């Protein structure tokens, strides 16, 4: 039996910009270990039809984020009109928007962790057994919706197979995760909803053993010796003893440059030093806003500016590149606040700064705040046409244009701060699609150069450093 994961065509890019689809790669490993065939197919009617025409018993397993829901559901609907195939959905969108089950063409949705849920479902289908009581799943049968409870979280992550790197081969960048879970509850993030779903059992960070991680990395290195490693964990250095052991073993056995995320409020100078010694090339931190009040009250992030500056200095001191995340267009804030945040990024010398217009997802606190202020909108032209279900109604097309333009050129302004004095003028300009494309190419190339340099660039830098 074959399981097809239909993915948006962008996911098949030879060199994904920043990360691989680790969820799908993990589910694929799980399914293959149980003898199922797995195929990743472009989510277009043409590609899926070609694959389904091969006549093998197949199910469709979509891994879905909200932004792609509309497009993917349209493709699925057309496929279901042509083929008699079951379509199941998992990933962030069904987890946070379980009302997805009501959509035409959706046979079942998986909430939360899918590792065992998918194996359980597919095995029962293969064996011709009833599957309507499989945990984590909601099913639609005739006009009935069946909602099953969640199974316990995978406590020991070392029991899971390594991500399948055959379905997504990449010699440039390999993503890996050492943890699951996050105890924080930032108001714009869906993690709080995840923790509510799991009765807060997911709030405790579960971390793989160092040896398990090093073994997977060893396999990656053997296959892709020139690769860059991206740790996708919300926080890589969760515990000092783990980080120390990891750093020693990583340096000795892996020694490939890597990128990771840290959380400034729980980071000390020694941790940055340990990461550097392990071979860390770039670190991302969440600045989000430069106003401590906005950060604390509106975002529920307690870190002070003083601490962010301190950590940024440690990062620079150790020669690691600094990547920052920022949110613009929060309700109850002004464009002036966004410009202040931009200047703060300049002051901490961010090598690459991202400023994203807020997407107020349903089931987050910021969604409720925006709703109470009557600021919710479903304007699909926000975020450069990527539909996010909800956006903020800023009450003026000029503010909207300024925010969208600011999002496009954020990294450029941080790199060339002399432009900031004209920011009101620049962001009011009606950027054409062509300008947006130029900016995207520019930022993507800086992103790669600074944060995830390819092998050839690393070698040139090493060679020129000798002179
Ligand atoms: C790394 C990452 C990325 C990477 C890789 C994306 C990906 N889809 O894997 C990149 C940089 C490309 C990315 C881009 C974006 N991301 Co992102 N990203 C993450 C991050 C930090 C980790 C994802 C991950 O690898 N987790 C580890 C794996 C093992 O977990 P998983 O993917 O969730 O899969 C598990 C389950 O969900 C389930 N499952 C997944 N798929 C399926 C399918 C089936 C059939 C079944 C049964 C189960 C199942 O089983 C898996 C194993 O348990 C998450 C936050 C988080 N902590 O999850 C945000 C997150 C997924 N991203 C998010 C967003 C908004 C985006 C963007 C839309 C941002 C943007 N503005 O462009 C894009 C969308 C691109 C895309 N097509 O996915 C949101 C999604 C919210 C939502 N409602 O959909 C998240 C949840 C962050 C957040 N808290 O808001 N992202
Ligand atoms: S934004 Fe990051 S730290 Fe905050 S709740 Fe979400 S995952 Fe956790």
Could you say which ligand is closest to the alpha carbon of residue 238?
2
How does DSSP classify residue 434? H
Could you say which ligand is closest to the alpha carbon of residue 195?
2
Domains of the chain: total: 2
Q: Is residue 46 part of a domain?
A: yes
Tokens representing residue 416 in the block: 């060339």
Which of 98, 132, 147 is where one domain is finished? 147
Say yes or no: 198 and 265 in one domain: yes
DSSP letters, 19-87, are ---HHHHHHHHHHHHTT-EEEEEESSHHHHHHHHTT---EEEEEE--HHHHHHHHHHHHHHHHHS--EE
**Shortest-distance Cα residue to atom 4 of ligand 2:** 186
| Domain CATH code at residue 290 | 3.20.20.70
For the Cβ of 115 lying below 6 angstroms from any atom of ligand 1, the answer is yes
Say yes or no: 104 and 193 in one domain: no
**Shortest-distance Cα residue to atom 66 of ligand 1:** 65
Please write the tens of the pLDDT for every residue from 119-164.
999 999 999 999 999 999 999 998 899 999 999 999 999 999 999 9
Q: Is residue 159 part of a domain?
A: no
Which of 87, 112, 147 is where one domain is finished? 147
CA of 371 to the centre of ligand 2 (A): 21
Q: By CB neighbour count within 10 A (0-12 exposed, 13-18 middle, 19+ buried), where does 144 fall?
A: exposed
For the Cβ of 189 lying below 6 angstroms from any atom of ligand 1, the answer is yes
Say yes or no: 260 and 335 in one domain: yes
Say yes or no: 81 and 178 in one domain: no
Which domain covers residue 308, as residue numbers?
Answer: 171-450
Say yes or no: 129 and 203 in one domain: no
pLDDT at 378 over 90: no
Residues forming a β-bridge with 63? 90
CA of 188 to the centre of ligand 2 (A): 9
Say yes or no: 192 and 89 in one domain: no
Say yes or no: 85 and 130 in one domain: yes
Say yes or no: 237 and 337 in one domain: yes
The pLDDT confidence band at residue 388, using thresholds 50, 70 and 90, is low
CA of 96 to the centre of ligand 1 (A): 12
Could you say which ligand is closest to the alpha carbon of residue 355?
1
Mutate to test the pocket of ligand 1, among 18, 36, 65, 356 (most ligand atoms within 8 A of CB): 65
Tokens representing residue 252 in the block: 């000795």
Q: Is residue 290 part of a domain?
A: yes
For the Cβ of 88 lying below 6 angstroms from any atom of ligand 1, the answer is yes
Please write the tens of the pLDDT for every residue from 343-376.
999 999 999 999 999 989 889 999 999 999 999 8
pTM of the model: 0.95
pLDDT at 386 over 80: no
Could you say which ligand is closest to the alpha carbon of residue 301?
2
Q: Is residue 250 part of a domain?
A: yes
Say yes or no: 128 and 190 in one domain: no
Q: Is residue 153 part of a domain?
A: no
**Shortest-distance Cα residue to atom 2 of ligand 2:** 234
pLDDT at 444 over 90: no
Q: Is residue 464 part of a domain?
A: no
Mutate to test the pocket of ligand 2, among 181, 188, 191, 238 (most ligand atoms within 8 A of CB): 191
Residues with CB under 6 Å of ligand 2 are 182, 184-186, 189, 191, 234
- Of the two residues 211 and 440, the one the predictor is more confident about is 211
Say yes or no: 335 and 204 in one domain: yes
Q: Is residue 154 part of a domain?
A: no
Please write the tens of the pLDDT for every residue from 406-422.
998 999 999 999 999 99
Q: Is residue 459 part of a domain?
A: no
Say yes or no: 176 and 61 in one domain: no
Say yes or no: 120 and 190 in one domain: no
| Domain CATH code at residue 6 | 3.40.50.280
**What average pLDDT is seen over the chain?**
93
For the Cβ of 394 lying below 6 angstroms from any atom of ligand 1, the answer is no
Please write the tens of the pLDDT for every residue from 5-37.
999 988 887 766 667 899 999 999 999 999 999
Q: Residue 17: what are its φ and ψ, rounded to 5°? A: -60, -45
pLDDT at 381 over 80: no
């Amino acid at each position: 039996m074959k399981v097809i994961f239909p993915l948006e065509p962008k996911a098949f890019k030879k060199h994904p910009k920043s990360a691989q689809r680790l969820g799908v790669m993990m589910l694929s490993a799980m399914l293959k270990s149980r003898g199922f065939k797995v195929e990743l197919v472009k989510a277009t009617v043409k590609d899926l039809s070609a694959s389904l025409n091969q006549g093998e018993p197949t199910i469709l397993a979509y891994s879905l984020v909200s932004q792609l829901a509309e497009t993917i559901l349209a493709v699925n609907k057309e496929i279901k009109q042509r083929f008699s195939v079951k379509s199941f959905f998992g990933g962030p969108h069904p987890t946070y928007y379980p009302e997805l089950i009501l959509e035409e063409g959706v046979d079942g949705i998986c909430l939360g962790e899918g590792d065992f849920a998918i194996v359980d479902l597919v095995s029962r289908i293969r064996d011709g057994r009833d599957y309507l009581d499989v945990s984590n799943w909601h099913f639609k049968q005739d006009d009935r919706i069946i909602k099953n409870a969640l199974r316990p979280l995978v406590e020991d992550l070392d029991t899971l197979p390594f991500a399948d790197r055959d379905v997504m081969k990449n010699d440039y960048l390999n993503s890996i995760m050492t943890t699951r879970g996050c105890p924080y509850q930032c108001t714009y993030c869906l993690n709080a909803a995840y923790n509510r779903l799991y009765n807060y059992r997911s709030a405790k960070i579960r971390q793989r053993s160092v040896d398990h991680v090093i073994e997977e990395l060893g396999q990656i290195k053997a296959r892709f010796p020139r690769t860059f490693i991206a740790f996708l964990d919300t926080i890589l250095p969760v515990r000092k003893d783990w980080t120390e052991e990891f750093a020693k073993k990583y340096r000795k056995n892996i020694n490939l440059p890597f990128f990771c995320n840290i959380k400034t409020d729980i980071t000390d100078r020694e941790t940055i030093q340990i990461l550097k010694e392990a071979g860390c090339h770039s670190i991302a931190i969440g600045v989000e806003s430069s106003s401590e009040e906005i950060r604390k009250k509106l975002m529920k992030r307690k870190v002070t500016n003083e601490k962010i500056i301190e950590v940024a200095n440690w990062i620079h001191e150790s020669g690691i590149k600094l990547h920052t995340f920022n949110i613009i267009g929060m309700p109850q804030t002004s464009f002036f606040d966004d410009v202040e945040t931009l200047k703060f990024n300049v002051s901490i010398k961010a090598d690459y700064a991202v400023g994203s217009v807020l997407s107020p997802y349903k089931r987050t606190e910021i969604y409720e705040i925006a709703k109470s202020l009557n600021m919710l909108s479903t304007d699909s032209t926000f975020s450069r046409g990527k539909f996010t279900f909800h956006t903020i109604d800023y009450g003026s097309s000029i503010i909207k244009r300024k925010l969208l333009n600011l999002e496009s050129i954020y990294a450029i302004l941080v790199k060339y701060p002399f432009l900031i004095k004209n920011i009101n003028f620049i962001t009011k300009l009606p950027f054409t699609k062509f300008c947006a494309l130029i900016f995207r190419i520019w930022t993507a190339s800086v992103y790669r150069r600074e944060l995830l340099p390819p092998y050839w660039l690393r070698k040139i830098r090493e060679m020129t450093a000798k002179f």
